[in-house]
Amino acid sequence: MDLDLKLVRNTLVVKVQGELDMLIADKMRYEVDKKLEENNIKNLIINLEKVNFIDSSGLGVIIGRYKKISAVNGRMYIVGARPPVEKILHFSGINKLIPMYSSEQDIINI
């Protein structure tokens, strides 16, 4: 499975694996939105540790969830982005909107 969703109190942790293009992006949009509607979720962590490629479809699904989480005054973080993916996140300016950390532990520590 290229998507793993885990609920920790009011935070949804989404682990993505593989190449985050339109194929996974559509699945991710559907699965994450379903969880956001079902549960009282305030915060969202997108873990990209195991993602080796991202394009604008992947960026689109991240920014779309950011808008949803912001609308309920929640917080969103991106963790574990590896250099090629990190480069695209920076290029798009997403890093200015969504804080990026190297691991989930770093968020717990802040």
Partner 1 sequence: MNVKNYVRFEFQSLPENVAFARACVAAFAAQLDCTLDAIEEIKLVVSEAVSNSIIHGYGNRPNEKVVVAASIFDDRTLEIIVEDYGSGIKDVEKAIQPTFSSDPARMGLGFTFMKSFMDEMEILSKPGEGTSVRLKRSFFAKDKEAYA
The end-to-end CA distance of the chain, in Å, is: 30
The label of the residue with tokens 């873990």 reads: 47
Q: Which is nearer to partner 1, 13 or 61 (CB)?
A: 61
Q: Supply the minimum distance, in Å, between the C-beta of residue 51 and partner 1.
A: 13
What the block records as the tokens of 78 is: 């991106």
Q: Supply the minimum distance, in Å, between the C-beta of residue 3 and partner 1.
A: 15
Q: Which secondary-structure segment (H or E) carries 86?
A: helix 83-92
- Residue 66: CB partners within 8 Å, gap ≥ 6? 76, 94, 97, 98
Q: Supply the minimum distance, in Å, between the C-beta of residue 92 and partner 1.
A: 6
Q: Which is nearer to partner 1, 9 or 96 (CB)?
A: 96
Q: What is the contact surface with partner 1 in residues (CB under 8 A)?
A: 19, 21-23, 26, 29, 53, 55-57, 59-60, 63-64, 84, 87-88, 91-92
Q: Which is nearer to partner 1, 63 or 107 (CB)?
A: 63
Q: Are 63 and 32 in contact (CB under 8 A)?
A: no
Q: Supply the minimum distance, in Å, between the C-beta of residue 33 and partner 1.
A: 11
- Cα–Cα distance, 42 to 66 (Å, whole number): 11
Q: Which is nearer to partner 1, 11 or 76 (CB)?
A: 76
